[in-house]
Amino acid sequence: MSIQTPGIHHVTAIASDPQANVDFYTDVLGLRLVKRTVNFDDPHTYHLYYGDEVGTPGTILTFFPFEGGQPGSVGRGQASATAFVIPEGSVAFWVDRLESEGLAVEDPVERFAETVVAFEDRDGQPLELVTGESDIEPWTDGPIPAEHAIRGFHGVTLDSLDPEATGDLLEAMGFQRVAQAGERARYEADGERATAVDVLDRPDGDRGRQGTGTVHHVAVRAPDAETQLDWREELIEQGQRVTEQKDRQYFQSIYFRESGGVLFEIATDPPGFTRDESVAELGSDLKLPPWLESDRETIESQLAEIDEPTPAEAER
Ligand code: ZN
């Protein structure tokens, strides 16, 4: 038995204002808010999930928003960019759209035969749009025309403190090293989507500092909880310090920080986001796990209201 993840499950990052976060990811990028819940380890903070229509693994970007939170800095020891797939012909559409939103957009560059558009969200979170293939149908009830809409993740870039160790870990989880260009090595999982992980080798780069505008952790997929436990044993045998299995309601999770500095999670595909809301209702109400329901009143009183614009409003 060996670990064979098909790719990234979700990426979790840190934001400041929750309303600004919702506005950016739904109105500007056209993702769907598929779940509003709280950070189970810190229930006074939201945990907001964005994805395709149903939150398919490989499309899910999540945030812990801290109003007035300390800005971080992106650098070594962190996941330093999160990339989404866009269709080949959509680069000009997106550059125009992002610039019209007042965002600083870098000139598109070619990387491993794909076109990459780099920009940042309102908190300085580094994002990329990469041309390519994906099995994900875009969410069509958002403000982006379907022909241009985001189709889940392309992958992530890790600015590792120890690129060799990070590469070894990726290979131990089923990724293969497929390309190298300058300081960047490309690893690919054998899956349908969200398969690319780039590892940077920048020994002179500045170290990152966690805070708003930075990634908190990167989760890769496991097919089910039993396989996840097998993988946990294997990672422990390889010397990783792995947490117990945790119930995240929409998936089961284990976590470990690898020696390149990046916090990894392995998350199960099931049960998914429709376990407590219908597809039509996803993201419309604050959902709490059973063990926090008795504190709902207190929790709700400590969270800022979030107003999610309807698609019609977003068009204005
Ligand atoms: Zn996670």
Which tens digit of pLDDT belongs to each residue from 286-302? Answer: 999 999 999 999 999 99
Alpha helices (H) in 212-295, listed in sequence order: 225-237
| Residue stretches of the chain with pLDDT short of 70 | 1, 309-316
239: left (phi over 0), alpha (psi -120 to 50) or beta: left
On the CB side of 154, how many CA atoms lie within 13 Å of its CA? 24
Rounded to the nearest angstrom, the distance between the alpha carbon of 39 and the centre of ligand 1 is 10
Q: Quick one: pLDDT at residue 313?
A: 45
| DSSP assigned state of 71 | B
Rounded to the nearest angstrom, the distance between the alpha carbon of 56 and the centre of ligand 1 is 14
Rounded to the nearest angstrom, the distance between the alpha carbon of 62 and the centre of ligand 1 is 8
Q: What is the pLDDT of residues 141-154, one digit of tens each?
A: 889 999 999 999 99
Rounded to the nearest angstrom, the distance between the alpha carbon of 223 and the centre of ligand 1 is 15
Q: 311: Cβ–Cβ under 8 A, 6 or more apart, which residues?
A: 141, 142, 143
Rounded to the nearest angstrom, the distance between the alpha carbon of 15 and the centre of ligand 1 is 15
Q: Quick one: pLDDT at residue 1?
A: 57
Instruction: Give the pTM.
Output: 0.96
Cα Rg, the chain, nearest whole Å? 18
Rounded to the nearest angstrom, the distance between the alpha carbon of 89 and the centre of ligand 1 is 32
Domains and CATH numbers, the chain: 8-302 (3.10.180.10)
- Which strand ranges, in their side-by-side order, compose the sheet holding 246-247? 32-39, 42-51, 60-65, 8-15, 215-222, 263-268, 252-257, 246-247
Structure tokens at 272: 């998914």
Interatomic CA distance for residues 37 and 34, integer angstroms? 10
Interatomic CA distance for residues 279 and 275, integer angstroms? 10
Interatomic CA distance for residues 203 and 239, integer angstroms? 24
Cα separations in angstroms, 83 against 95, 127, 153? 15, 6, 6
